[in-house]
Amino acid sequence: MKFIVNSSALLKQLSSINGVITTNPVVPILENFLFEINDGTLTVTASDLQTSMITEISVESKESGSIAVPARILLETLKNLPEQPVTFSIEEESYSIEINSDNGRYKLAGENATDFPKVPSVSDDFSVEMSSDVLASAINNTIFATSNDELRPAMTGVYVNLSDTNTTFVSTDGHRLIRYRRVDVASDNGNTIIIPRKALNLLKSTLPSENTNVTVEFNIANAFFKFENIRMICRLIDERFPDYENVIPVDNEINMSINRNEFLSSLRRIAIYANKTTHQVRLKITGSELQISAEDLDFSNEANERLACEHEGDDVEIGFNARFLIEILNHLDSDEIEMLLSAPNRAGLIIPKEKDDNEDILMLVMPVMLNNYV
């Protein structure tokens, strides 16, 4: 079997799906790309059993066939070749692969394609269309708050609830909770799924910069994403997601509005002086002033700053983990944010004051108990 392909075009396609491949896969053959040629089209598959990514590229070939090609050595070779046509010659009996470029010849050992795990097919049980910009925004706004706790698998992914009026994306790690809702993505058949973090990270890095249409299909076990010449199939998390709506406080009588960048910059400076274990900062809201302070008693470090804010309701003093606040503020685009509070021992809500008409963002962060320093 022989085919000719542009080295840069092949490298681009392989790089887009290479993130799936793990260094020590459960099955050694998963260190390979699966190459399948048919009617002048090379289909390349990468998989880790949970997630598979597939891409296609046109090649010059009159033959058809398949082989598993070592991913790392092929990528390193292509990265160091100048752009040019390269010829792949495959000896089907010995699985030997020879790559010929303008001034070199490279020989590597492939494996039998039949040993490569079959990619699950997703029958069109349920599908929805959305733009890549919307999907990227949903991933960016939620993925950072997913949990790393494998004992609570439902929280290691993003929960997606499709209804006939909107689609809600939710993530939580027990310390913060993000609810990102889109009214421009809806489906007549309501459904809920939990998509693993790794699959979403791969999508995030693969989605094109130009806005394009993404088809999402899923059944009870797998989700299927298709855009341009890329397809991704991932196994869904089969767990019950926490009842997040009950966690969101509704009677928040304390409302503070503040410039996001000023608040973020201040938190970054104050966090330097916070305890390195708790990262605790104290927010004291009195009148139209926010005082941010932190203290590390072990090293006698302390810092405080005052910022102007708009404030309705009672004065309040509340503690938060500075890292969680900083990460939440970092993921918002709005110049002004609102912080809604009810009591020092209840969750705080952060909401952008300016947002797209089609989106609704709510970011919740749990407080930490304050030390009794003044």
- pLDDT digit string, tens, across residues 303-328: 999 999 999 999 999 999 999 999 99
- The mean pLDDT value for 237-252 works out to 94
For residue 347, the tally of other CB atoms under 10 A from its CB is 19
What's the pLDDT tens digit per position in 158-203? 999 999 999 999 999 999 999 999 999 988 888 999 999 999 999 9
Whether the predicted pLDDT of 213 surpasses 90: yes
pLDDT at 121: 80
Q: How many CA atoms within 13 Å lie on the side-chain side of 330?
A: 12
Domains along the chain with CATH numbers: 2-115 (3.10.150.10), 127-245 (3.10.150.10), 249-365 (3.10.150.10)
Whether the predicted pLDDT of 233 surpasses 50: yes
Retrieve residue 55's tokens: 């891409």
d(CA 245, CA 180): 13
What's the pLDDT tens digit per position in 39-55? 999 999 999 999 999 99
| Exposed e or buried b per residue across 197-216, where buried means at least 16 C-beta atoms within 10 angstroms of its C-beta | bbbbebbeebbeeeeeebeb
pLDDT at 206: 95
Whether the predicted pLDDT of 234 surpasses 50: yes
pLDDT at 219: 87
For residue 143, the tally of other CB atoms under 10 A from its CB is 20
What confidence tier does 356 reach under pLDDT thresholds 50, 70, 90?
A: confident
Rounded mean pLDDT of the chain?
A: 94
pLDDT at 162: 93
Q: How many CA atoms within 13 Å lie on the side-chain side of 66?
A: 13
What confidence tier does 23 reach under pLDDT thresholds 50, 70, 90?
A: confident
pLDDT at 14: 97
For residue 167, the cross-strand partners are 162, 182
Q: Do residues 221 and 236 touch, judged by C-beta distance below 8 A?
A: yes
Give residues with Cβ within 8 angstroms of 263, minimum separation 6.
290, 307, 329, 337
Percentage of the chain surpassing pLDDT 90? 90
Distance of CA 34 to the CA centre of its chain: 25
Q: What are the DSSP calls for 149-201, one per residue?
A: -TTSGGGGEEEEEE-SS-EEEEEE-SSEEEEEEESS---SS-EEEEEEHHHHH
